[in-house]
Amino acid sequence: MPDSRAMTANDTDVIDQAPSARAPGRTTAAGLFSQPLAPMLTVLAVTLLTVGAILSFRTADLVAALWAANALAVAVWLRSGRGLGYDLSFGALMTFGTLAGQFLAGNTPILGLMFGAANMAEIVVAVLLARRFAPTLNLATVEGACRFIFCVAVVAPIAGALIAATGLYLLRDASFLMTFQTWWFGHALGLAVIAPFVLAVDSRTVRNLFSPWRAVETVLLFSLLAAVCFCAYFLLDAPLGFTLIPILIMIAARLRVVGVTAALVVVSAAGMVSMMMGAGPWQSTAGDVADRAMLLQLTLLFGYVPIVLVASLLEERDRLSERAKAGQVRAERASAAKSRLLANVAHEIKSPIGGVIGIGDLWSSGQLGPVTETQAEMAEMLVKTARQVEALSHDLLDVARAESGAVKVELRPTDIPGILEDVRRTTAMRPEAKLLTLAVIAEGDGLVAIADSQRLAQVIDNLATNAVKYGAAGGAVTFRARRVYDGVRIEVIDQGPGLSPDKQAQLFEPFNRLGLERSTVEGHGIGLALAKRLVELQGGSIGVESTPGQGATFWIELPAA
């Protein structure tokens, strides 16, 4: 998937540390595939692979059942560069390598040209399809791997298969269907196994191999794979290919896409050699070489190749995990900076506000000289406003301490009905609660929770204050405690206007007063955010249940003693 352009430098640093977090196609700038010798080495490798496949794996008349040359050419072409001039030059080199391999293997000029045309058609189609449907070449995601395997490996060989099947039918009266299916399966297998391996290799993978533990792990896993391959394909005559699946899954889990594609190369080569020799399970398999090759190709393509998607899924999980960790680190840094800012602001506010309150009290009491009734009212308003700012500074300090982890809680068995009764009495002394009915309901015995009594009382008092402020129209506030599962549930119930689902979702956000900023109800919007943090520090949870027009129930759940 394409990388987000909004990614920060920190994102990039973290993602670069994750396995295969970058698209393989983007690591070519400093890699092997950007070197000037890469095209020449690729031509040599394509020639050798062509000769080897023709001499070793021909099954249906003159068609090889396993073809790796085209996959290598496609992968290197995609990784090494693009542009009209480069494409023409690289295409010409691949044409030379393919034809050289055909002639060195002993094909006649007509057959060599026909097979060369079929191979080059397949290579060009594969490159065009990859650039169209999998432009990032990122096999470290399920989407990228699926796009490459199904849009490139499955579709591209059709072009070459049609040319080869038609040519052999006209030249040698060969079976069109047998030629087509042998070509398609063999070349699709190469593109699905060899090309992903080449695309997944990058400098990070090479560096990982120099890690002692990773090198030992890789050697052990591939030694186990080689041993099982030898037993399944050469030593025993029973069909035991399924025993390779757990090992391939282990390799996918530990070594990801690079490891599992390399393992599939080993398995494919071992299976083909065994099939051509008639060893192992092929001793008792009916049919000619073409039929047995078809059976092996089907097993490799549909039994083993899908494990590449498992490795891609794991790599994608790794990348997302690294991004999540990077986001968490940024969020924690931002939260710490915000907490420091809040603490600094609160400290800066406290000193001058204390002076304002002192002057206001002296002024209103007449100690600074005679005052008129209007001046006394203004002084009282000044003191009231200053005390609101002072309360805000205390709340800001509490929020900053809670978010920075400076708040320490002392957890011990706490009698919940007793705390509720204390909060009820305190609430009843407030002027705005004179016309309210306040009640405590304790349902059952043993309502003792593990909590910090002081902090819990602070939280419940905050909920009671909100219930009085916003739910006074209902005429009653109820404090209830009851057992739930292995905990104690505390509820503060009002009969006010209630809350809509949208407002409930925003309720515990700092400085969010749900649109009541300009109302006559005083507040700063940080009490519930602080309450939530304090409850979580005590190992509990907090929430609200409300229906518009039917009041609200704020609840706290704490572990029972």
pLDDT in tens, 196-221: 999 888 777 777 777 888 889 999 99
pLDDT over 80 (residue 541): yes
pLDDT over 50 (residue 434): yes
Give the confidence band of 28 by pLDDT, cuts at 50, 70, 90.
very low
Query: Are 133 and 146 within 8 A, CB to CB?
Result: no
Choose among 462, 439, 460: nearest CA to 451: 460
pLDDT over 90 (residue 507): no
pLDDT over 60 (residue 522): no
pTM higher than 0.75 for the full model?
no
Choose among 463, 453, 338: nearest CA to 403: 338
pLDDT of residue 441: 93
If you average pLDDT over residues 376-392, what whole number do you get?
A: 78
pLDDT of residue 520: 47
| Separation in Å, CA 66 to CA 251, 309, 312 | 23, 21, 24
Give the confidence band of 318 by pLDDT, cuts at 50, 70, 90.
confident
Q: Is 436 exposed, middle or buried (0-12, 13-18, 19+ CB in 10 A)?
A: buried
Q: Which of 139-153, 176-190, 249-263, 502-516 is predicted least confidently?
A: 502-516
More confident residue, 153 or 499: 153
pLDDT of residue 164: 94
pLDDT in tens, 128-152: 999 999 988 888 888 999 999 999 9
* Buried residues in 299-312 as b, exposed as e (16+ CB within 10 A): bbbeebbebbbbbb
pLDDT in tens, 439-453: 999 998 889 999 999
pLDDT of residue 245: 93
* Buried residues in 388-427 as b, exposed as e (16+ CB within 10 A): eebebbebbbbbbbbbeeebeeebeebbbbbbbeebbeeb
pLDDT of residue 343: 67
Q: Hey, what are 39's tokens?
A: 């095209």
Query: Are 538 and 451 within 8 A, CB to CB?
Result: yes
